[in-house]
Chains A and B, each alone.
Chain A
């Protein structure tokens, strides 16, 4: 199928290591005088509080320990299914006491993709940390949406398809836990 051949190999990944916050979120680790703000601190800055949803969760390792040294990045379209410059981008680290990350954002809309298929509302996620030789990718869907015809979810016949679906826990609030290993290992994507 590939008509044009790539000339170069992609540069290989290496782990982000335990100190990635120095480079990606320095203000979060009290290096405050270099960048005014950390990137991805607040997605969709111009939205009001009552227009936002919350997605919270933890990232668990194979021992069931919730990690606080991971960085999660999220990327999404707006409520109309449109992608804008960098407003749909967020970076999160879990709170070091509760071990939970909390994303406040707008609920994305569905969109018709380059593949001509309609994708149910979702966010794309990347997860980087010490111990991960490559960044992991996955998607977050919402349990109260129509998901039957989504092109990704419909090719997954595995029991753990639920690992891609955030559970509604309160009005405008969702729970999305990530399991790096174990019985409930999250589905990661080769995007």
Chain B
């Protein structure tokens, strides 16, 4: 019989859950150790989303909320990359949802207390499904940095939030992409909650100059890796894994 399982997570390459420099984690991060459990069908299978949920402008944040095709303020960027698994296999049909602040660093959300202006032509949300090569692409505007209450007022580096579904509920990933060269990156407690330097750097979108020069916009490349799923053949093994 074919058994499937998810590759164990390497927590050294993820953020620490209990990280007091990020104040909100103090009363929210669980204190007990997670129970290690060999994933089964509910975790290994995951929702598969149909192409027909995606509208034509869903991955174009410069137009999907604009009135009379007026461009939102700020400079345009393309954010693109591939979604693959840990074995380098591209993942087709992965759902990527993004959200971000506008050029002034303001979210279109009632709870955002930043006294920066809303942009009536920008909502800051988009989504797409990856192609057969795992490719995705968003057209948007450069999000501004923004102040938020942490240890006093601190500033978030420019970033875009990403939510990704692969093939498996256990591959589910929520993360943020940062921008190469942003001086606020090294001060960010959320990013610094990742101890491993290489892992931290993998969240920084890389400026792609060749593409930037040809399309009147800046292009950033951000590749995403989801957990691998192992397939193992078992015979006469009563206990499975």
Contacts and interface: CB of A to CB of B under 8 A. Distances in A.
B152 interface: no
Given A114-B41, A189-B35, A180 B28 contact: yes
Select the residue from A29, A113, A156 with max chain B CB neighbours within 10 A: A113
Most chain B C-beta atoms within 10 Å of own C-beta, residue among A8, A117, A133, A135: A133
Interface stretch (A48-56, A81-89, A99-107, A169-177): A81-89
Interface stretch (B17-25, B68-76, B179-187): B17-25
B49 A190 contact: no
B19 A133 contact: yes
Nearest to A116: B240
A45 to B, nearest CB: 13
A190 B36 contact: yes
Contacts of B111: 18-19, 69
B109 A11 contact: no
Nearest to A64: B27
Interface SS majority for chain B: loop
Contacts of A65: 27
A111 B40 CA distance: 10
A126 to B, nearest CB: 6
Contacts of B190: 14-15, 133
Contacts of B17: 132-134
24 contacts: A3-B232, A7-B87, A12-B14, A12-B175, A12-B199, A19-B107, A19-B109, A22-B99, A22-B107, A22-B125, A23-B126, A26-B123, A34-B64, A61-B28, A62-B27, A83-B41, A113-B40, A117-B40, A128-B174, A131-B24, A132-B29, A133-B193, A181-B29, A189-B37
Interface of B: 1-10, 13-17, 19, 22, 24-32, 34-50, 53, 55, 57-58, 64-65, 84-88, 97-99, 107-112, 123-127, 161, 163, 169-170, 172-176, 190-191, 193-194, 198-200, 202-203, 224-228, 230, 232, 238, 240-241
